A and B are shown apart, each in its own frame.
Chain A
Amino acid sequence: MSSFASFKSEYLDISEDQLVARAQEGDLDAFESLVRQHQEMVFAVAYQVLGDKDDARDVCQECFIKLHREIGSYRPKGKFSTWVYRIVVNAAIDFQRRQKRDRFVSLENTVLTTGSSDTDLRMSLDRVLEELTPKQRTAFVLRDLQGFPLDEVAEILNCNAITVRVHVHNARRTVRKRLEQDL
């Protein structure tokens, strides 16, 4: 296992394209460097889409393992990061579907809290976002919370910009209504 210091000098100064090319040749240091570059944003997206830290971490892990497996077939048509986010978003949506099947959660029993602890904040944010469909929530997270441009959100979600605008439009209306009712 490499330490951060061992590859820092060599890999921090080279471009992402070069890192990808090296990772495609099986260079694990280069891949690890790519993980470091993207892990926080990928985790933030997974967390905001799923609303659970442990689930988000699992999805992140799944995403990067898949990324390593498939990086050989990646062809740089667009931004590498777009491809990474597409993988994490798909993994998160799949995770939600699996979770829905496996869990028996009664939303009616969820208690709304407005306190100031981390858990309470999380519940409030979840409560605000819970009525959104998975696609609406993902589009909202990418566009409004992460600030991706509309076209990039469309690329990540593999749909056109009009569809993203519909998701975002509906999400913003729902979020506003929810906040007015609950908070």
Chain B
Amino acid sequence: MMCRLTRLLLPLYVGGDLSGGPEKWVAGHVDRCESCVADLEKLNGARDQVKTLAKQDTPSLPLDFAAQIREQIEQDGEQVVVLPKRQRWVWAAAAMLLIAGFGWFSVFEDASEIAEDAVIEAPLAVEEPVETFSAGDLEAMMSLLNPNRELTDAELDRKYPVVESVNFPNGTQMVYHTDDPNTKVVWVVAQEGVQVQ
């Protein structure tokens, strides 16, 4: 289980996109787990490989590109348009009115073109969490599963083998059953939130 959690976080860890508790936790686990180190090395290798491919294949623009842009601007007679302050407010107000007027309809008409962000911001399907820990607080979850820290990672893996893993557009949700039949731990990797039901 510890390894599964670590591997979920490794893609962020390799790019330095974890911080605080989660980063320390992954670093600590990787220090003592050969299998996760191997996984980390593979991820680092893949990143380096893509970077190398990108570096080897970087064409350049023609030397006179900027001059060509300038020429095109001059040919098109493009002028910089600076709106006076008052006019900007008028445009802003007009835009807001338009948005207010058509926004309602556009929600339905453009349903097929919902921005990817909108989907990603949607909360994961977690049913009525009883308690929510601060985002990214891996230690909180660990203390629930291993309160006295007497179990090794391998023992934890054996003790909590049952994992329900569900993929959502905004990440992966993993559920661990604890010793208490009324308590389960829900780990949401994308938002680094730990919730207990």
Contact = CB atoms under 8 A, between A and B. Distances in A.
B78 A69 contact: yes
Contact of A43 (B61, B76, B80): B61
Interface of A: 1-4, 23-26, 28, 31-33, 35-36, 39-40, 43-44, 47-48, 53, 57, 60-61, 64-65, 68-69, 71-73, 118, 121-122, 124-125, 128-129, 133, 135, 143-145, 150, 159, 162-163, 165-170, 172-173, 175-176, 179-180, 183
B57 A125 contact: yes
Interface in B161-185: 170-171
Given A121-B53, A166-B190, A65 B69 contact: yes
Where chain A touches its partner, the secondary structure class is helix
A1 B12 contact: no
A4 B193 CA distance: 54
Measured as residues with beta carbon below 8 angstroms from the partner, the interface class of chain B is 35 or more
Contact of A1 (B11, B57, B70): B70
Given A165-B17, A176-B46, A26 B67 contact: no
A125 B65 contact: no
Nearest to A26: B80
6 contacts: A31-B73, A43-B60, A47-B59, A48-B54, A72-B83, A128-B53
A32 B67 contact: yes
B47 interface: yes
B106 interface: no
B149 interface: no
B190 A162 contact: yes
Contact of A53 (B12, B59, B78, B190): B59
B72 interface: yes
A36 B57 CA distance: 21
A166 B73 CA distance: 39
B46 A1 contact: no
Contacts of A73: 81-83, 88
Given A71-B80, A128-B50, A61 B69 contact: yes
Contact of B56 (A121, A133, A183): A121
Contact of A69 (B58, B81, B189): B81
Given A168-B12, A176-B46, 14 more contacts: A2-B67, A4-B67, A24-B82, A35-B65, A44-B58, A60-B65, A121-B56, A129-B50, A162-B191, A163-B121, A168-B15, A172-B43, A172-B47, A180-B42
Nearest to B68: A61
B54 A125 contact: yes
Interface centre among A24, A68, A180 (most CB of B within 10 A): A68
A166 B171 contact: yes
A135 B15 contact: no
B74 interface: yes
